[in-house]
């Protein structure tokens, strides 16, 4: 049985107290506790403590310190339960202590995966151009349960998805004016898939781009690609030259009719 010899306030943290136990008539430092733990266990000079008492006191103090750590972590932004657990594990806290901390945080409503997921989806809609599949994967990485993810993604209505996808599409269409409509379409599709949009949304925005492409823009793209191919294959002659040109433009996504038109145009320029 140990006896508390004295209790002192820590210099750097007035809410923590150093507990000294009597060792052969001398006060020897044993452990420190938070002010709330001191009050909860009514710690004072002369109090006798057995091993179970000290184990309970130290456990409660670890929970208190861990809870403060978690609250500080949560003060910057909302976090999922998994994010909090991962942070506490880095602090090398034992699983029983972490579980008790989570219980207290949930009791204070400091962590709530439903509220977190909804807020996360709303933030992504407002500040990014991600599709629902990417947001879904991000929530999965944060440990959010599937049913919660499904519910939270209801915030991302189809109209909002189309608006976000169209924003990406219009930028890419403007950037890729010197490629064939087919290649442009493929680039846009790939970008939208990477961003997490579904085929339903992709088809809607792609159709809008296809309908807006004019012949002059197509022709300028064809000439640009044709000139690049010409520089590469001009060392060849006759049939070989013609085949290499046609194959190059076909690989770039132009139709056979478009290619024939360009080859006629090229021949006119070459013999003009």
CA 264 – CA 249 distance, rounded (Å): 14
What pLDDT, in 10s, does the model give residues 94-109? 999 999 999 999 999 9
CA distances from 41 to 18, 29, 59, 60 (A): 14, 18, 12, 10
What pLDDT, in 10s, does the model give residues 53-79? 999 999 999 999 999 999 999 999 999
What confidence category does residue 213 fall into, taking pLDDT thresholds of 50, 70 and 90? low
CA distances from 44 to 20, 52, 65 (A): 10, 17, 21
Tell me the average pLDDT across 125-153: 97
CA 221 – CA 216 distance, rounded (Å): 9
What confidence category does residue 82 fall into, taking pLDDT thresholds of 50, 70 and 90? very high
Give me the percent of the chain exceeding a pLDDT of 70: 95
With 80 as the cut, is the pLDDT of residue 166 above it? yes
Rounded to the nearest integer, the mean pLDDT of the chain is 90
What confidence category does residue 272 fall into, taking pLDDT thresholds of 50, 70 and 90? low
CB atoms near residue 126 (< 10 Å): 8
* pLDDT score for 96: 95
What pLDDT, in 10s, does the model give residues 196-208? 999 999 998 888 7
* pLDDT score for 211: 59
* pLDDT score for 245: 83
What confidence category does residue 172 fall into, taking pLDDT thresholds of 50, 70 and 90? confident
What confidence category does residue 175 fall into, taking pLDDT thresholds of 50, 70 and 90? confident
Give me the percent of the chain exceeding a pLDDT of 90: 65
CA distances from 134 to 40, 78, 194, 215 (A): 47, 19, 8, 36
More confident residue, 238 or 116: 116
Phi/psi at 16 (5° precision): -120, 145
Lowest mean pLDDT among 80-84, 103-107, 150-154, 253-257: 253-257
Tell me the average pLDDT across 71-96: 95
Residues 6+ apart with CB under 8 A from 264: none
What pLDDT, in 10s, does the model give residues 3-43? 999 999 999 899 999 999 999 889 999 999 999 999 999 99
* pLDDT score for 271: 61
């Amino acid at each position: 049985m140990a006896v508390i010899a004295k209790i002192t306030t820590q210099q750097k943290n007035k809410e923590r107290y150093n507990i000294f136990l009597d060792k052969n008539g001398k006060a020897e430092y044993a452990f420190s506790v938070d002010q709330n733990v001191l009050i909860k266990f009514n710690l004072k000079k002369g109090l006798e403590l057995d091993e179970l008492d000290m184990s309970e006191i130290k456990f409660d103090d670890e929970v208190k310190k861990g809870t403060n750590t978690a609250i500080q972590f949560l003060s910057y932004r909302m976090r999922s339960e998994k994010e909090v657990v991962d942070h506490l594990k880095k602090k090398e806290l034992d699983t029983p202590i972490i579980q008790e901390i989570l219980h207290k945080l949930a009791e204070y409503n400091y962590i709530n995966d439903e509220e977190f997921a909804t807020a996360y989806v709303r933030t992504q809609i407002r500040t990014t151009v991600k599709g629902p599949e990417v947001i879904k994967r991000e929530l999965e990485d944060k440990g959010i349960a599937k049913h919660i993810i499904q519910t939270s993604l209801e915030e991302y209505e189809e109209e909002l998805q189309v608006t976000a996808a169209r924003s990406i599409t219009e930028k890419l269409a403007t950037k890729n004016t010197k490629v064939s409509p087919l290649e442009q379409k493929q680039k846009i599709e790939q970008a939208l898939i990477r961003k997490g949009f579904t085929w339903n949304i992709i088809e809607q925005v792609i159709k809008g781009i296809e309908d807006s492409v004019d012949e002059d823009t197509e022709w300028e793209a064809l000439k640009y690609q044709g000139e690049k191919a010409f520089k590469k294959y001009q060392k060849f002659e006759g049939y070989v030259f013609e085949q290499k040109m046609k194959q190059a433009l076909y690989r770039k996504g132009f139709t056979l009719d478009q290619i024939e038109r360009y080859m006629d145009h090229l021949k006119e320029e070459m013999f003009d």
